[in-house]
Amino acid sequence: MARVRCVEMGGTAGMADPVLTGAMVKRTAIPRTLSLARCVGAAVLEARERKEDPVDALLAVTGGRLLLRGKIVDVERRTAQGFARGSVRIAESRNAGGRTLAIDFQNENLVARADSTVLATVPDLICIVQSDDAEPIGTELLRYGYRVSVVVLPAPELLTTPAALAVVGPRAFGYDVDWARGPISSH
């Protein structure tokens, strides 16, 4: 219901849900994700204050991997059945290798590819952040010309079981590829 109303309101809407008790959070949340989010925020803020690379700080806290630093060169977006669907292309500078990364999304980033090689898929988090301050850029805010870093944060183990992958893995979104934990192209 909220997604439909948000689309009807032009993509922006506010909603207040019932507050969860501590017991409800413990029963339904993935353990340690709220603490991790707090640690990420603290590490990024500290790196900014010290004039260090906040993307490196993000990666250090999460165990994530950098896929690419570059510029958004194309965004294709459409709304279908209440979802923001599309793709973004990000070009690396020529002196860094000159690769182009394509990311498909459906409200969230689903699959990242360089040429025909799949580099990352859900349930790992494929994140596009501003290169200078590590601020996340949601799919609805992607724009030509932004200087970004693409990072992949490892999925919690609970999301990598066969039962979970049936719901949150790449095949659940129509991609004919299996999720696999392992090394991803990095710099």
pLDDT in tens, 59-109: 999 999 999 999 999 999 998 887 889 999 999 977 777 899 999 999 899
Through-space distance between the first and last CA atoms of the chain, rounded to whole angstroms: 42
CB 58 within 8 A of CB 81: no
Give tens-digit pLDDT for 128-162.
Answer: 999 999 999 999 899 999 999 999 999 999 999 99
**% of the chain surpassing 70 pLDDT:** 95
- Are 85 and 74 in contact, with CB atoms under 8 Å apart? no
Cα separation, 38 vs 84, in Å, equals 28
Instruction: Return the pLDDT at 42.
Output: 98
Q: How large is the average pLDDT for residues 167-187?
A: 78
Model confidence pLDDT, tens digit, residues 13-51: 776 677 888 899 888 889 989 899 999 999 999 999 999
Is residue 186 pLDDT above 70, yes or no?
Answer: no
Q: Are the C-beta atoms of residues 103 and 109 closer than 8 Å to each other?
A: yes
Please say whether the structural domain 63-173 has been given the CATH code 2.40.390.10: yes
Domain positions in the chain? 63-173
Its pTM stands at 0.84
- What pLDDT score does 173 carry? 94
Which has the higher per-residue pLDDT, 127 or 1? 127
Cis amide leading into 123 (omega within 30): yes
C-alpha–C-alpha distance, residues 53 and 64, integer Å: 15
Location of structure tokens 């990352």: 120
Average pLDDT along the chain: 90
Q: Is residue 62 left, alpha or beta, with left meaning phi > 0 and alpha meaning psi from -120 to 50?
A: alpha
Q: What is the bridge-based pairing of β-strands 125-130 and 147-153?
A: antiparallel
User: How far is it between the farthest Cα atoms of the chain?
Assistant: 52
Rg (CA), the chain: 17
Q: pLDDT at residue 184 above 90?
A: no
